[in-house]
Chain A
Amino acid sequence: DAGVTQSPTHLIKTRGQQVTLRCSPKSGHDTVSWYQQALGQGPQFIFQYYEEEERQRGNFPDRFSGHQFPNYSSELNVNALLLGDSALYLCASSPLVPLTRNGHTDTQYFGPGTRLTVL
């Protein structure tokens, strides 16, 4: 049973460029969340996708966008890259448990991350 996978492992871009990161969730999971982790800090929530729609979003600008495909895999896109976007980008998957009308996101499992360096 494959866990959460992410690609690429490392990426180097220059300021102003655009980047796309990819994530395949753990088998049986239909919810994908993305996090940004700057050096020396804890991960920060970017957004969550379920049923191919963005369901929740953290405090990130519109330059950060995403997509979820019918097979539950997901992409994170960042436009107009800034030096401050250099970070480890983490994808986490979970099953959405419909315990309430809003659902309850169960335990999240993280991928190995993509290290983005912006020069």
Chain B
Amino acid sequence: DAKTTQPTSMDCAEGRAANLPCNHSTISGNEYVYWYRQIHSQGPQYIIHGLKNNETNEMASLIITEDRKSSTLILPHATLRDTAVYYCIVSYGQNFVFGPGTRLSVLP
């Protein structure tokens, strides 16, 4: 079973920030938090990952709470092309256990 829980779906207005939450209350000390997204029928696309500190790259920001029991993926200026299923995964040295993810719909 997946070690994460995410909302089933979310909507976001185009141009606004999309904030996708993820709960991982049983995360172990050495497990990383990974985010991927999957646009219809394509392979999952890597977005970002982190261990303890907040991370930012050209695609998104990852905010991890101090107790590491939850995290938020932030897409700063969502576009229609960001419509996808977003997966939050916790893992160390093991292969990924995917949950159902969050279906993000970016609306014009």
Contact = CB atoms under 8 A, between A and B. Distances in A.
A110 B43 contact: yes
Nearest to A112: B43
Interface stretch (B9-17, B61-69, B74-82, B96-104): B96-104
A88 B43 CA distance: 9
Interface string A56-78: 10100000000000000000000
Interface in B36-89: 36, 41-46, 49, 87
B87 A107 contact: no
B6 to A, nearest CB: 10
A43 B92 contact: no
Given A41-B100, A42-B98, A107-B34, A102 B44 contact: no
Chain B interface, >50% SS class: loop
A88 B87 CA distance: 17
A94 B50 CA distance: 16
A56 B42 contact: no
B46 A107 contact: yes
Contacts of B36: 110
Contact of B87 (A42, A92, A111): A42
A7 to B, nearest CB: 13
B93 A107 contact: no
Contact of A110 (B41, B45, B91, B101): B45
A90 B43 contact: yes
A43 B92 CA distance: 18
Given A42-B98, A104-B92, A4 B43 contact: yes
Given A42-B98, A45-B97, A107-B49, 13 more contacts: A4-B43, A35-B96, A41-B100, A42-B2, A43-B98, A45-B95, A88-B41, A103-B93, A104-B92, A105-B91, A107-B46, A110-B45, A113-B43
Interface of B: 2, 34, 36, 41-46, 49, 87, 91-101
**List of 9 A-B pairs having minimum Cβ-Cβ separation, nearest first:** A42-B98, A110-B43, A45-B95, A104-B93, A110-B44, A112-B43, A43-B98, A113-B43, A111-B43
